[in-house]
Copies of this chain bind each other. A is one copy, B any other.
């Protein structure tokens, strides 16, 4: 059994390969758009969502050759959301994954189209590959991803986030936002990976509880890092939340209590995995990775 670091590197390399294959080459028209799509997606990011998909696939005995397409799809959705979120009309950020953001490196119109086309490509991949061995189940996966990124999922969370700038939120309202903004896609990542194998109803419920907890923990740690880690280490603009007067777990709870809450959520997430035994090993390790990461 390989160690966690070797496993993540293998998964990251695998999803990178799939993404590089599916993203149209930059010598095919429209070249600038394709170049910008590759710029936005390849060679960066922790690939947390793909890692969650691969780890969940191990629980259900899924073939990694199938999970890799689900993993690529969720990463494309994540990448599109970053490109659009960074635009001047939204968070107006110039740095992402240690590089200039797409609208800075290219232009705003290209960034808009890059996001649009990456979303389409995610669904194209999910539809092009046989996943989970059953077409009806595969349609269910496509629907689950569409719901996760729509107005009652990720895009809705972004809208709630924007509406809340400068407002005093309580913890429940902040949680409501993050359940949508980051939580929905993280749940979908776990679900899609698991659905590539044989997923029983109780295992589905256990995995979903894990994913909910990990999604929130991920966001809390994001808030802590945004407040504590310098831009150079983070690869994106640090201190942004405070500068934008955005409510965060740190502004509501302080960094120490926020970190504690992330640890509690990890414990809750891992408790949900107990019935799954050793197949859930990578999910447990990922829970550690999510709360202990420093960038």
Which of B112, B139, B149, B155 interacts with A87 by CB under 8 Å? B112
Asked if A127 and B139 sit within 8 Å, CB to CB, the answer is: yes
Q: A interface vs B, CB < 8 Å?
A: 24, 28-30, 32-34, 37, 80-81, 84, 87, 89-90, 107-113, 115-117, 119-121, 123-124, 126-128, 135-136, 138-140, 142-143, 145-147, 149-153, 155-156, 158-160, 162-163, 176
In the complex, which of the residues B33, B34, B121, B142 contacts A142, with contact meaning CB atoms closer than 8 Å? B142
Q: Which of B29, B112, B151, B158 contacts A84 (CB under 8 A)? A: B112
Q: Establish whether residues A147 and B160, one from each chain, have CB atoms under 8 Å apart when the complex forms.
A: no
Q: A30-B156, A112-B87 known; A24 and B140 CB under 8 Å?
A: no
Count the copies. 2
In whole angstroms, what is the CA distance A190 to B116 when docked? 22
Q: What 10 additional pairs, Cβ within 8 angstroms, besides A84-B113, A124-B150?
A: A24-B151, A29-B160, A32-B163, A33-B155, A113-B162, A116-B116, A120-B149, A123-B145, A126-B142, A135-B138
- Chain A at the B interface: SS class: helix
- Residues in B neighbouring A127, C-beta threshold 8 A: 139-140, 142-143, 146
Q: Which residue of B lies closest to A116 (CB)?
A: B155
- Asked if A151 and B30 make an inter-chain contact with CB atoms under 8 angstroms apart, the answer reads yes
CB within 8 Å for A84 and B116 given contacts A90-B109, A136-B135, A159-B33: yes
- Bound form: Cα–Cα A261–B167 in Å: 57
Docked-complex contact A120 and B29, CB < 8 angstroms: no
